[in-house]
Chains A and B, each alone.
Chain A
Amino acid sequence: QVQLVQSGAEVKKTGSSVKVSCKTSEDAFATYASIAWVRQAPGQGLEWMGAIMPIFGSPTYAQKFQGRVTLSADDSTATVYLELTSLRPDDTAVYYCSRQSVTKGPYFHYWGQGTLVTVSS
């Protein structure tokens, strides 16, 4: 059973940064699996932010977040990280990590429990 366990809720000030972790099962670091990040603002829909293939450490980012988001992976702990900088109140959202699979295009097979990030001024 694939499990993704995320870090706890965060409260941040406008202009600061946040780093959210997602501990995965170790095979994600031994295969060509990718871990994606998807966020959901309160009462809103889902928004893809980017993905990383831990075995290569090569991330891809949504154009909207280029320059503000960094995805990284630590194979010693089988943990993937999302760092978002220059936080604004509209970054308030639940951030999900997801184990990605592929058919003709990626999809999100397994999900973490979500991490609420609240940004206040």
Chain B
Amino acid sequence: QSVLTQPPSVSGAPGQRVTISCTGSSSNIGADYDVHWYQQLPGTAPKLLIFGNNNRPSGVPDRFSGSKSGTSASLAITGLQAEDEADYYCQSYDSSLSGSVFGGGTKVTVL
């Protein structure tokens, strides 16, 4: 059971917009710690997609955006493309555990 809760899967047609939720608690997201997002393609290491809630590292398309409110955060992918088919993980810091915590991951399928 992950500390941060994500839906196991989401899907959408090419060109559509999909969102992935990440729900935490008062000891992590709700404690004002930032939320970060990673994309993991099959058989590869995770890649940083969004840091500090809504910032994209250099090279990440602006189709990816993040937001945070209260004890939850969201990742949005607009203009969905076949290459976006991957697993996505949210991550934050938890003060009760004194360490980083991840969501269980969401598999995005492009129909």
The main secondary structure of chain A at its interface with chain B is strand
Q: Is the Cβ of A45 less than 8 Å from the Cβ of B105? A: yes
A46, B102: Cβ atoms under 8 Å?
Answer: yes
- In the complex, which of the residues A46, A101, A103, A104 contacts B89, with contact meaning CB atoms closer than 8 Å? A46
Q: Which of A16-47 contact B (CB under 8 A)?
A: 36, 38, 45-47
Q: Is the CB of B98 within 8 A of A105?
A: no
Q: Does A106 contact B (CB under 8 A)?
A: yes
Q: Does A112 sit at the interface, judged by CB under 8 A?
A: yes
Residues of A within 8 Å of B, CB-based: how many? 25
Contact status of A103 and B52, CB under 8 A, knowing A46-B105, A47-B102, A62-B99: yes
Interchain CB contact under 8 A, A103 and B34: yes
Q: Which of B45, B47, B102 contacts A113 (CB 8 A)?
A: B45
Chain B residues touching A, range: 20 to 34
Shortest Cβ gap from B86 to chain A (Å):
13
CA distance A108 to B104 in the complex (A): 16
Residue A121, interface by CB 8 Å: no
Q: Do the beta carbons of B98 and A60 come within 8 Å of each other?
A: yes
Q: Which residues of A contact B34 (CB under 8 A)?
A: 103-105, 107
Residue among B51, B52, B99, B105 making CB contact with A48, cutoff 8 Å: B99
| Contacting pair A36 B45 (CB below 8 A) | no
B residues 11-30 touching A (CB-CB < 8 Å)? none
Docked pose: A96 CA to B105 CA in angstroms: 17
**A-B CB contact pairs (8 Å), 18 listed:** A45-B89, A45-B102, A62-B97, A63-B98, A63-B99, A103-B51, A104-B32, A104-B52, A105-B93, A106-B93, A107-B48, A107-B52, A108-B38, A108-B48, A108-B100, A109-B57, A110-B48, A111-B47
